[in-house]
Chain A
C-alpha cells in the first residue's frame, strides 16, 4: 500500500468526524436567522471549545483503554477555583491561571496514581474521586458567584483581527503545545500501546505505567483549561452537579463521534475535537428549527445513545462465536 493510503486508514475516524461537523455546521448556519456571520461563528466556537477541551481530556484516558468519569467534576472544580483566583492585576491573574492549571494537573495525577499504582478499576475510582472534586468545588462556591479578570476573559472570548474567534486560536495552540508533542513522544506511544494490548506492550518493555500516568495527568490539565474557559465565558464560578455530569457524558459522546475507540489504542484528540464541535452543533440545531427547549435533553440523550451504540458495537468486530463472550 502507498503511504497516503496508510495515512487515510489511520485518520478515517477523524476525517469522518470532520465531515459530520461540516455538514451539521452548514445546516446550522444556513437555517440560523443571522446566517453565516462572524458573530454566529464566535458564539458557536465559544460553546464548542468548552466541550472540545473536556473531550480532549477524555480522549487521552480512553486511548489507554481506561475511562475518566471525573473530567466533568475537574472542569467544575477548576471553574470554581478560577472564580476566586483569576482576578486582580496582570501579575495576580497570571499566578491565578497557573494555580488553576496546577490544580487540574494534580487532580489528573491523583486519578492516575489511584488507577495505575493503586490498581483500581478506572470506572469506580474516577466516580469516587469525582465526588471528592465536586465536594471541593462546592466548598469553594456553595452559591454561584465570584468574578474573573474581565480584560483577559473578553480577550479570550472575543475575536482576533475581528474575524477569527480567539477561543479557536487558543484551542489550536493547546493542540500544538500539548497533544502533538504528547502523541509523538515515547510516553504517548506507550499510552497507545497500553490501550491496544497491555500485555504485548509490557512484554516489549514499553513504559506503560508512565505512559498511562502521563495520559491521566494531562487529562486533568486539559479539563482545567476547559474550566478556565468556562469562567471566561460566564464570569462566575458555579458548582452545578448536573452540569458536571453532563460534561462527562457529552465528552464520551464526543470522543465516540470523533472516531476514538472506547476499547483503547485507536483515535486522536483532533478527531475528538471535531466530535465535540459536531455534538454541540447537533444539539443547537433544535434552536434554529424552533423546537421547544424541553426536548433538548431527550434529543441529546438519543444522539448519545445512537453514537455510542454504533461506535461501541463490538459485535461488528466478532470473528467467531467465542469472541462474543469476551
Chain B
C-alpha cells in the first residue's frame, strides 16, 4: 500500500494535500469501489424506500458472505499472478460431498463439513501441483480439473442418487444467529477475512505471496521455496471454494449440481474490482471486501428491478470490462 502513496500525492497535487491522511494513503481503486457502493445504495434508495432499512442491508451482507468466502481464496491465487477457474465445481463438490457424507451415520454428520472442505482442498492440490511443479499455465490446469470434478460429480449423483439435503450444522452456519442480530454467515466471513488479513500482512507466507506475484524469479533467488507457497495457495483456494459451497448448501438446505456456476465470474470480478492486480503482486483485502459488497448490491438491485438473467449477464460483463479499463490495464508497450 505504501508504494502507491507518492503516486497519489503527485497526481492529485494540492487537493490530496488537504485530504485526511487515511484517504491519501488509500488505493484509488478501493476508493472507487467504495464510491460505487455508495452510488448504488443511493440509486437503490431512489427506487425503493426499504433499500436502506437495516434488515435489508443485513440480508445483503449475509448473501455477500458466501461470495466473500469464495473470493478470499480467489484473491490469494490472483495475488500470485495466477487464476483459479475450477471454482464452479469446487463449490459444487464441496456442497455435494458434505451432504453425501451426512448419509453415513452420526460420524458422517459430524464429519460432513470437514469432508466437504477436504474435497475442495484435494482439487486445489491437483491444481497446485500442476501449476507449481509441472508449470502448466494455471488457467489451463484449473479448467481441466474443473471438468474432471464435474465428471466425478455427474457419475456420483447419477449412479447412487445420494443424499442431497444439508445437515443441521450446515444450516446453522449459514442461516443461524449465534449473536442476536448478526447472521452466522457474516461472522464466518469476518473471521476468514481477519485471518486472511493477518496472513497477508503479518506473516512471512503473506509477504512471499506478494513477492511471487511481483517476480517469482526474484523470490526464488532470495531463498524462498516458491513452489510450495504456490501449491498451498491453490489448496487454500480450493478449500475456501468448497467451504463456500458448504455454506450455500446450508443456506438452500440442499446441494445441486450447477450451484457453483454463478460464482466464477463474480468471484474474479470482486477481486479485480477491489483493485487487486490481475497480474499479481498488488492488492488489499479491504478492496476485495468492497468488490464483494459491490457485486452483491449490483445483483440485488438488478433482481429488485426484475432484470432477467440475460440482462444481468450483459451488465456484469460490461461493468467488469469498464472497471478493468479504468484501472486494470497492463503498462504500455516497451
A118, A128, A299: the one contacting B265 at CB < 8 Å is A128
* Residue B292 lies at the interface, judged by CB distance under 8 Å to chain A: no
Within 8 A of B (CB), among A123-146: 123-125, 127-132, 134-139, 142
A314 to B279 Cα, complex, angstroms:
20
B139, B148, B159, B324: the one contacting A302 at CB < 8 Å is B148
A5 to chain B, nearest CB (A): 29
B220, B258, B334: the one contacting A325 at CB < 8 Å is B220
Residues of A within 8 A of B309 (CB): 135, 138
Beyond A120-B324, A297-B150, A298-B152, whether A131 also contacts B314 by CB under 8 A is yes
Residues of B within 8 A of A326 (CB): 216-217
Residues of A within 8 A of B207 (CB): none
Residues of B within 8 A of A304 (CB): 143-144, 147-148
A202 to B333 Cα, complex, angstroms:
9
- Docked-complex contact B137 and A312, CB < 8 angstroms: yes
* Residue A152 lies at the interface, judged by CB distance under 8 Å to chain B: no
- Docked-complex contact B313 and A313, CB < 8 angstroms: no
* Residue A121 lies at the interface, judged by CB distance under 8 Å to chain B: yes
- Docked-complex contact A298 and B143, CB < 8 angstroms: no
- The total number of A-B Cβ pairs within 8 Å is 170
| Interface membership of chain B positions 265-302, coded 1 if the CB is closer than 8 angstroms to chain A and 0 otherwise | 10011001000001100000000000000000000000
* Residue A174 lies at the interface, judged by CB distance under 8 Å to chain B: no
Residues of A within 8 A of B311 (CB): 135, 139
- Docked-complex contact B314 and A135, CB < 8 angstroms: yes
A322 to B218 Cα, complex, angstroms:
10
* Residue B114 lies at the interface, judged by CB distance under 8 Å to chain A: no
A139 to B314 Cα, complex, angstroms:
10
Beyond A135-B310, A138-B310, whether A308 also contacts B140 by CB under 8 A is yes
* Residue A119 lies at the interface, judged by CB distance under 8 Å to chain B: yes
Within 8 A of A (CB), among B116-163: 130, 133-137, 139-141, 143-145, 147-152, 154-155, 158-159
Residues of A within 8 A of B219 (CB): 325
A134, A241, A299: the one contacting B151 at CB < 8 Å is A299
- Docked-complex contact A322 and B265, CB < 8 angstroms: no
* Residue B195 lies at the interface, judged by CB distance under 8 Å to chain A: no
* Number of residues from A at the complex interface, CB < 8 A: 52
Residues of B within 8 A of A312 (CB): 134-137, 140-141
- Docked-complex contact A301 and B317, CB < 8 angstroms: no
A309 to B220 Cα, complex, angstroms:
24
* Residue B329 lies at the interface, judged by CB distance under 8 Å to chain A: yes
Within 8 A of B (CB), among A8-66: none
* Number of residues from B at the complex interface, CB < 8 A: 60
- Docked-complex contact B220 and A114, CB < 8 angstroms: no
| Interface membership of chain A positions 291-303, coded 1 if the CB is closer than 8 angstroms to chain B and 0 otherwise | 0101111111110
Most chain A CB inside 10 Å of its own CB: which residue of B137, B151, B264, B328: B151
Beyond A67-B139, A305-B144, whether A134 also contacts B313 by CB under 8 A is yes
- Docked-complex contact B154 and A308, CB < 8 angstroms: no
* Residue B226 lies at the interface, judged by CB distance under 8 Å to chain A: yes
A308 to B85 Cα, complex, angstroms:
15
Beyond A119-B330, A297-B151, A322-B217, whether A124 also contacts B268 by CB under 8 A is yes
B69 to chain A, nearest CB (A): 21
Beyond A119-B332, A312-B137, A313-B134, whether A298 also contacts B317 by CB under 8 A is no
| Interface membership of chain A positions 83-125, coded 1 if the CB is closer than 8 angstroms to chain B and 0 otherwise | 0000000000000000000000000000000100011110111
B166 to chain A, nearest CB (A): 24
* Residue A191 lies at the interface, judged by CB distance under 8 Å to chain B: no
Q: In this complex, what residue of B is CB-closest to A312?
A: B136
Beyond A118-B329, A308-B141, whether A202 also contacts B334 by CB under 8 A is yes
A326 to chain B, nearest CB (A): 5
A128 to B268 Cα, complex, angstroms:
10
A120, A127, A199: the one contacting B268 at CB < 8 Å is A127
B136, B145, B154: the one contacting A298 at CB < 8 Å is B154
Residues of A within 8 A of B147 (CB): 249, 297, 300-301, 304-305
A233 to B272 Cα, complex, angstroms:
40
Most chain B CB inside 10 Å of its own CB: which residue of A132, A300, A305, A318: A305
| Interface membership of chain B positions 306-334, coded 1 if the CB is closer than 8 angstroms to chain A and 0 otherwise | 00111111111110110011001111111
A295 to chain B, nearest CB (A): 6
- Docked-complex contact A120 and B151, CB < 8 angstroms: no
Residues of B within 8 A of A294 (CB): 154-155, 158-159
Beyond A295-B155, A298-B152, A313-B135, whether A249 also contacts B317 by CB under 8 A is no
* Residue A252 lies at the interface, judged by CB distance under 8 Å to chain B: yes
Q: In this complex, what residue of B is CB-closest to A136?
A: B314
Q: List 10 A-B contacts (CB under 8 A).
A: A125-B321, A135-B309, A138-B308, A242-B261, A301-B144, A301-B147, A301-B151, A304-B143, A312-B134, A324-B135
| Other A-B pairs, 11, CB within 8 Å; known A120-B321, A128-B317 | A128-B318, A131-B316, A138-B310, A199-B334, A202-B334, A262-B140, A292-B159, A297-B151, A298-B155, A304-B143, A322-B220
